[in-house]
Amino acid sequence: MATQTTAEQRSLTFLQVSVALQTLAIFFQAVTAGVLLSSSHGEVLHSVGARVMYGASMLYVLAAILAWRPGGGTPRPILYASGFLVLASVQVVLGIAHVPSLHVPLGVLMFGLSVLALGQVLTAHLPERSGTRS
């Protein structure tokens, strides 16, 4: 039982780290968007940050799948992570198409949702199993 609890704790920690990385990457994108307006280096930073943010969204999906145990929990985090990946894909398309009227508000929405997801996974606890505590 201790091994299973340790594995569950590692999965939860991986999920927490992946959501934190995604949130930081989206925040970095907001900062580089401001730099983009005032510096010639902003475009390169924003472009690199977009790739990191997209990779972080894929990592979040992987972490959500690994944290889910078939028959042992809800697959809701997988749905949330997949939704973020879809939003990130739309965000990339809008950025490449240079549609700031949709790109910027979607980025703000993604940051807010990512902060909410981060708060949710940071406050998550392992479910207590009957018979493990006295």
Binned at pLDDT 50, 70 and 90, residue 89 comes out as very high
Exposure class string for 1-26: b at 16+ Cβ within 10 A, else e: eeeeeeebeebbebbbebbbbbbebb
Q: What share of the chain is helix, strand, coil (3-state, %, to 5)?
A: 80, 0, 20
> pLDDT of 27-75, one tens digit each?
999 999 999 888 888 899 999 999 999 999 999 999 999 888 765 667 8
Q: What is the pLDDT of residue 127?
A: 56
Q: What is the pLDDT of residue 134?
A: 44
